[in-house]
Structures are given as C-alpha cells and as structure tokens.
Amino acid sequence: EYVDVSPDDKGYELYNITIKDNLTDFEYIGNPSCNQPGINPDDYLTIDPVNHTYTWFFGSDVILSEFENISTCGTIFYLEFDAKANKTGTLENKVNVSGYETCCHEWRYSDAMATVYVEEQHQPDIEISKEVTTSDDESYHKHINVEKGEDVKFKIIVSNTGNLAIDNVTVRDELPEGLTYNYTETPREPDHDETVGGAHYLYWYFEDVAPGWEETIIFHADADGCGNLTNIANVTGTIFDVIVMYKEDYATVNISCPPGNPNVSLIKEVSLDGVNWTKSVEAYLPDVVHAGNKIYFRLNVTNTGDVNLTGFLEDFLPPFLKYNYDSDIPVVYANDSYIKWVASPSDPLMPGESSIIHFSVTPISGGDDDNVAIVTTDQGVNATDTAHVTLYEPHIVVDKEVKHICDEEWSDHVIANTTDLLQFKISLTYYGNPLNQSEYAFHNITIKDILPSVLQYVENSSVVSGDWPDWDISFDPENDSEPDVAGNVLTWDFDDIFWIPHNHTLTIVFTVEVTAGMDCGTYENLVIITGTECSGTNLDGNDTAEVEIPCPEFELDKKVLNPGTGEWSDSAVVYPGRP
C-alpha cells in the first residue's frame, strides 16, 4: 500500500501528521518505508487489533512545507507497507490523514480510497473413492464378507475437486490374486489391463477433465480366492504437464472358503519418492541423485488361502542398485544385492492377513532391469513378482577416424607413405536426459589429441563444427579453432564456448603430415575428451585411429650352381673334393 500526504495550499507547514488505515479485509505484513531519512515508520505505529486499525503518528519528526527556504523539508511525504488480502472479490481500503498547519493554526483532514480486486487462487485437487458390494446389492461399503465363488461389484468415483483442468488422468485398479476381473458396467471396459505377479491391473484413461468433473466406474469380479483381500485403486493426473497429482483408496473383501486351501499373493512396487507407487519407474540418474539418491520398494505378501502360512520372502536386486540396509521389517540375512525375510513378522501369516515391507536402495549406475521378489511357503504355495527400474545415465561417445586428404571415406585405419597428408576427425556426441532433452547440456570441454611420432600437425588446419542450432554463438573461428601444440600433444580447451544438447555432436577435422624417414609399422593416434554435464556430473571418453606405414617388400631366393651342367638349381650332385 502507498499513502501520499502533501499540503493543499502554499505558505504553511504541516506537522503532527497522523495516518490512520483500516485493514478490515487485509492482514498487515509490515516492511514499512517512507521518504524521510532517519524515519522508521514502525517506531510511530500503534495497532488496534479489534478494529484492524493501524495508526502512524509522526509528531514534529515529519514536517511538510511549501516554503522555498526550508530545504530540509519535502512537500510530499509517502508511506509504504505490505499487506495480504484475506478474502476474494472487490476489497476497499480507506485511509484517513490529519495534520496541524501553522498558518491558520487549525487541523487539516483528508482521506483516500484504494480498491483491490482479489481473484481466487488456483487450487488443483483430485479425489478417488473405492467401495464394494455384492452383484445383487446397490448399497456399497468399504468391506464385505462373501463366500467363495460369489460375484462382487466394485465402485470407483473419481472427481476433479479443484478449480483447474487436469490432463492425462489415469485410474488404475489393482485386483489382488483371489479376485478375478469379470466385466465393467460403466462407463466402458478398461482401456488397458495387465497381469503381473498374480495381481490384475485395470486402467481407464481420461483427458482434459474440467473442474467439477466426476466419473463413476462400476465393474464386477469373481471371488475365487480365500481370506481378506484388499483392492486398491489410485488416480494420477497432471497440471500444465508439470504437476503430478496422486490419490488412492481401497476396499476389502473377506472370502470364506472350505478349510484346507493354502494360497499366497505377492505384489512388488517401486517409487521415486516413497509415496507414489507403481510397477515400474523411468528416471534420469542425476535427477535421482539430486532428489536424495534413493529408490524405494514396497512388498505386499497376502495369505489368500484359509490356512496359516510359514516360509520366507527373498528380494533380488539388479546389479546397478545397492541395498541401504533400512528395511522396516527385520531381515534374516542381507547383502548389497540380496535380502531375505520370514514370510510374515508375526509368523505364521494368518488367512487374509498381509505383511507389507518397505526398503530403499541407492543407484550406483544407470541400468534397465527387474527387481525380482519371491515368496516360498512351507505349505507348498509360492508367488513371484517384479518391479522394473530404468535409469538413464549421462555419457559421451567419442569417435576418432582418419583418411587421406583426397579420399571420401573415413576409417579407423589407413595405410600411408612418408610425406602423405592425412586428415583426422574427432566426433564428440553427448547423451543426456532422454525424458527431458532440454534439461541438461555438456560443457567445460577439453579435447586432448596425442599424435604418434610419425605425424606432424599442419598449422591452421583445424575446422570445428556443431550440429545443433546456434552452436557457434560464442565461438570465434579465428581464435578458438587452433589447438595448443606441445610436442606431439594437441589440446583444445573450449571451457564454456560450447554447450552441447542431448543427442548432438561437436566435430573437429584437422590435417597432419607423415614425417619422412620414419620406420615402418602401425602407429596409434589417441584422443581423450573430458567435460561436465551441467548437473555436475563429470564425463570422459576416448578413442583411437591407426596409421600404418608399410615396410618394403622383397623376396629371397637361394640356388646352387651345378658344375656339370652349368645351371643354377635348388640342388646339385657333386663328388667329394670337386668344386
């Protein structure tokens, strides 16, 4: 808020200035300031919290004047402070100002009004509810009891309860083993379904749902298992393709079975934050590192039979993940890549009872593999499930090739003679985050090329190029193309001249001469490249190309002269003592 006070006539001074502001619909934040040096408005403030009135009385410390010879006083005094609106709509804020003037020796009064229009804040939200009943009943509940073989009916209600549109809405229903999907009443059959580790997953997709949108999904399942089974449904959606929303709910079905039917189900899930669970994750390794360097797993073992279960549960990690030794259930044995528990901490696992285990791992590299879990019971029933992890790791690919200067084809090996002119090509390709290709770039680049002793660099022969838009915006060909030459080592120190985007290439082509008088043989040219992804990850790579100087070719043939015939041949018959 800004309050401006000034005399409305000439020839007097104004002091004992009082500014009274009623902030009924606002919350005073503070941070006051004014245009009088040495004046801190907070020192002059009194607050009436009941009437929400804020009053500043400046006494003789602030004097406003129109006399030209009073240079220390200004003709305008203003006060600024911060406030926060407490409701939406059109809000009016009135300020009253008074001061005593020295000409007529009387009080002067004025007031002003400021109007603020406050819009409602955007509050995105999404909700889901899950209930169940039998096929011939329309009264839904969070839990029901049924006999084995009955038809049960589930109802999911999904709604956009915020005030923003939500896109990419996915409803996923997880039917545990023991509940077999039958058909959907409304609105349609699942857009996708899959069975993983005994659990059946149903998916419905909805696009661009407006505020107030609501959808009801009703589907049937056969109760062909045993025990207390939990059916979980979740919903995800995105706001502006950036904010990911997640909610979940569940309903339970207790299936009574004749005695003597052991069964077990296992559900394995993975998460990047320990909150949102799914069957697979796909992420960029530097992003995972920056977010805490953890990946979370959840195991759910359920006794879907009608007899107690005993046994053990094992988890086998892929080689690029390392166990953090943080299971919330005590383990029987563990190392960096293997964990073993009893099937249930309460051992035995009662019919309908579930054992849920959480633990985390640290990624030690990129990779693409399954995390496999296996439950083995003493009652002869087993289950296996997996969760898939894909981690992309930044890397560079370095390629070194050579050719004769007039040839068209590049190769990693060439045959040359002394004084020949050859060209080498160095290609550097950066691979960053394929999930968000513009997130990172590769920079701080140093290229070191080590020439063999038989090759001599041709000065001013380097040509540098890139294949991405505006690659040369910071590049000066005259000053940045040539390497630093130290003996047989060529060094291009590009620092931050180039910022290579994902899946793009920087290329250097230069010329060398094969030195006269060098020994024949095969000589290797090595290039080493280092740099940094702007995530802070250092990357390096190298490659070689070969130059072969052929050795002279000759044949050796030895013969003997036959004295009798006078002919040269491979053998001859002579007598002792005869030349």
Q: Which CATH number, 3.90.1640.10, 3.40.190.10, 3.40.50.300, 2.60.40.1530, labels domain 126-256?
A: 2.60.40.1530
**Quick one: fold of 395-549?**
Immunoglobulin-like (2.60.40)
- Could you please report the per-residue DSSP string of 390-422? EEE--EEEEEEEEEETT-S--BSEEE--TT-EE
Q: Which CATH number, 3.10.20.30, 1.20.120.1200, 3.30.1050.10, 2.60.40.740, labels domain 264-392?
A: 2.60.40.740
CA distance readout (Å), 202 to 166, 253, 273 = 21, 18, 23
Domain segments of the chain as ranges: 14-118, 126-256, 264-392, 395-549
Digit-coded pLDDT (tens) for 309-342: 999 999 999 999 999 999 999 999 999 999 999 8
| pLDDT cut 70: percent of the chain above it | 93
pLDDT digit of tens for each residue in the chain (579 aa)?
Answer: 544 555 544 556 788 889 999 988 888 998 999 888 888 999 999 999 888 899 999 988 887 775 443 334 446 888 899 998 888 889 888 999 998 877 777 888 889 998 998 887 777 899 999 999 999 999 999 999 999 889 999 999 999 998 889 999 999 999 998 999 999 989 999 999 998 877 899 999 999 899 999 999 999 999 988 888 999 999 999 988 777 899 999 999 999 877 778 899 999 999 999 999 999 999 999 999 888 999 999 999 999 888 899 999 999 999 999 999 999 999 999 999 999 998 777 779 988 899 999 999 999 999 999 999 999 999 989 999 999 999 999 999 999 999 999 888 999 999 998 889 999 999 999 999 999 999 999 999 999 999 999 999 999 999 999 999 999 999 999 999 999 999 999 999 999 999 999 999 999 999 999 987 778 889 999 999 999 999 999 999 999 999 999 887 666 667 777 776 778 877 766 666 656
CB of 421 within 8 A of CB of 405? yes
Measured at the CA of 517, the angle between CA 513 and CA 523, to 5 degrees, comes to 60
E-state strands within 364-487: 367-377, 382-392, 395-404, 413-415, 421-431, 441-450, 455-457, 463-466, 484-486
**Quick one: fold of 14-118?**
Immunoglobulin-like (2.60.40)
Fold identical between 14-118 and 395-549? yes
pLDDT of residue 369: 97
Digit-coded pLDDT (tens) for 155-174: 999 999 988 899 999 999 99
